[in-house]
Chains A and B, each alone.
Chain A
Amino acid sequence: ILNVEQSPQSLHVQEGDSTNFTCSFPSSNFYALHWYRWETAKSPEALFVMTLNGDEKKKGQISATLNTKEGYSYLYIKGSQPEDSATYLCAYNTDKLIFGTGTRLQVFP
């Protein structure tokens, strides 16, 4: 059974704080790793699709790194804003996506 784990489960930070969370996935038969942001009452939105070991991607103040050999990816948010409050999902791509349970981020003004 393929397992994708995310930590922490939830996170509360102040506006302006930087934060990061982790996605762990099987290191064998790796194909791709997806990150999504899911805001309340909206649809999940794709942030990154990462395929190469050592890859680093950036979108505004959000960035992600990938280590396929050890099976983890980090998502960083620099200078969090209240509008960054959302659940962040990662998903391991084999013949389908296997999702983690997400990290719920709340940014307080």
Chain B
Amino acid sequence: DVKVTQSSRYLVKRTGEKVFLECVQDMDHENMFWYRQDPGLGLRLIYFSYDVKMKEKGDIPEGYSVSREKKERFSLILESASTNQTSMYLCASNRDILYSNQPQHFGDGTRLSIL
């Protein structure tokens, strides 16, 4: 079974801090994704990556950056955390090309609170 592991289930940070959310997958998947989920809204794509050192903006990239130095690891960075970034963050991965029919495999999520 595919395992997608996010480094923290719960995280509390202060406004202005630089925050790192880490995600590791163990199935050699090419594609990795970061989403946020807010009440009343569907999962929204922040950034994705289809290869090492490659990244593409999703629908809501403002205030975030990402890093993919190794195939198995995809990091989401909040450059200067703000209260409107309080949310549930989900990492996902899948294999093959982006237009493939492979389902995405998700981590358990990180509930991030910015005070």
Contact = CB atoms under 8 A, between A and B. Distances in A.
Contacts of A46: 103-105
Contacts of B103: 34, 36, 46, 49
Contacts, number: 51
A97 B104 contact: yes
8 contacts: A34-B103, A36-B106, A46-B104, A95-B99, A96-B58, A96-B98, A99-B42, A101-B42
A62 interface: no
Interface of A: 4, 31-32, 34, 36, 41-46, 49, 51, 89, 91, 93, 95-102
A51 B101 contact: yes
Given A43-B4, A96-B98, A99-B35, 6 more contacts: A36-B103, A42-B108, A43-B90, A89-B42, A93-B99, A96-B58
A43 B48 contact: no
Which of under 10, 10 to 19, 20 to 34, or 35 or more describes the interface residues of B? 20 to 34
Interface in B10-56: 33, 35, 40-45, 48
Could you tell me the dominant secondary structure of chain B's interface residues?
A: loop
Nearest 3 pairs of A and B residues by beta carbon:
A46-B103, A99-B42, A99-B43
B43 A43 contact: no
A43 B101 CA distance: 20
A43 B108 contact: yes
Given A44-B106, A46-B105, A96-B58, A101 B40 contact: yes
Contact of B102 (A4, A49, A102): A49
B98 A43 contact: no
Contacts of B106: 36, 43-45
B108 A95 contact: no
A44 B107 CA distance: 8
B77 to A, nearest CB: 20
